[in-house]
Amino acid sequence: MPSARTVRRSLTVIVALVLAGTGIYIASTALNRTDAPVVEGCTALLNGGKQNLATDQAANASLISAIAVRRGLPARAATIAIATAMQESKLRNINYGDHAGPDSRGLFQQRPSQGWGTEAQIMDPVYSTNAFYDALAKVPGYESLSVTEAAQLVQRSAFPEAYSQHEDLGRAFASALTGNSQASLDCTLRTPDAAGDPSAVRDAFLRAYGATAPSVVAGRTLNVRAEGALAWSAAQWAVANAKGLAISRVDVDGQAWIREGNKGWTDAQTQPGAVVITVAGGQ
């Protein structure tokens, strides 16, 4: 009959082997898993360069660009506006100012004391963006000015040269979001937590574009009648807002952006003259 010491040694060996096997299994699973954590964010390509924004920043950039399209402004106006908002608020609708402007608010850090509107108005991104464009339109020849010059003539900043550092980012996202660069904006996203609402997508689209393009809800889709640059503007607006609106797919002009697996843009059969925005279904 084995001694107690022998039994204990045998049990120790068995436990060690089990633990070693478990460790090997865990390591193997970790190395071969395909569901690694997704770092969410959006990119825009221009002239071989890639610019990056967080998903909430990209959504604000898409609104700024959509309003430029709605007003019939050139992409240059959107470039200036995005670069300005990036410098002033990091493209976030913040409700506080700083030492130089304690009453500054919103995407563009506009000040009620300087006649930009009430605090409630300035905190509305649609209002504040239109206010910025109203002022920019009064700058003679702003399209031919540098971003810094044009932005400074609107903002009157204490740091006028700061806007220039965001020019490449502004150009990349403005070009994509005004539809001048096709299939150039992509967002890496996790699987939606809940089903999307196509009516909510339509409400957001109308808030950004107004009646620029007809749109109809059908099932889990929003169908936008548009062609050319307007179609690509609407499509890439949808990609930029995919996280907040639980959008899973965007079809336009022979291509589709597919959220699942972060496939990005790929060739697809699409309806001519239409942008089809599909929201995620229920779990």
Tens digits of residue pLDDT in 10-53 = 444 444 443 444 443 434 333 334 456 889 999 999 988 999 99
Q: What pLDDT is stored for residue 15 in this prediction?
A: 41
User: How long a stretch of residues is the chain?
Assistant: 283
Q: How far apart are CA 20 and CA 272, in angstroms?
A: 59
* Tokens 């971003």, residue located: 147
Q: What pLDDT is stored for residue 5 in this prediction?
A: 52
Residue-wise pLDDT for 45-97, tens only, equals: 998 899 999 999 999 999 999 999 999 999 999 999 999 999 999 999 999 87
Tell me the average pLDDT across 144-161.
87
**DSSP assignment string, the chain:** ---HHHHHHHHHHHHHHHHHHHHHHHHHHHHH-S-PPP--EEEEEETTEEEEE-HHHHHHHHHHHHHHHHHT--HHHHHHHHHHHHHHHSSS--S---SS-TT-BTTTTB-GGGTS--HHHHTSHHHHHHHHHHHHHTSTTGGGS-HHHHHHHHH--S-GGGGGGGHHHHHHHHHHHTTSSTT-EEEE-PPPSS---HHHHHHHHHHHHTTSS-EEEETTEEEEE--HHHHHHHHHHHHHTHHHHTEEEEEETTEEEETGGG-EEEE----TTEEEEEE----
159 versus 215: which is more confidently predicted? 215
Q: What pLDDT is stored for residue 38 in this prediction?
A: 84
* Tokens 């907040």, residue located: 244
Share of the chain above pLDDT 90, in %: 79
Q: What pLDDT is stored for residue 150 in this prediction?
A: 95
- Extents of the domains making up the chain: 42-177, 191-279
Residue-wise pLDDT for 255-265, tens only, equals: 999 999 999 99
Nearest to 52 by CA among 172, 167, 162, 161: 172
pTM for this predicted structure: 0.86
Q: What pLDDT is stored for residue 156 in this prediction?
A: 81
Q: Is residue 167 pLDDT above 60, yes or no? A: yes
Q: What pLDDT is stored for residue 9 in this prediction?
A: 55
Tell me the average pLDDT across 141-161.
88
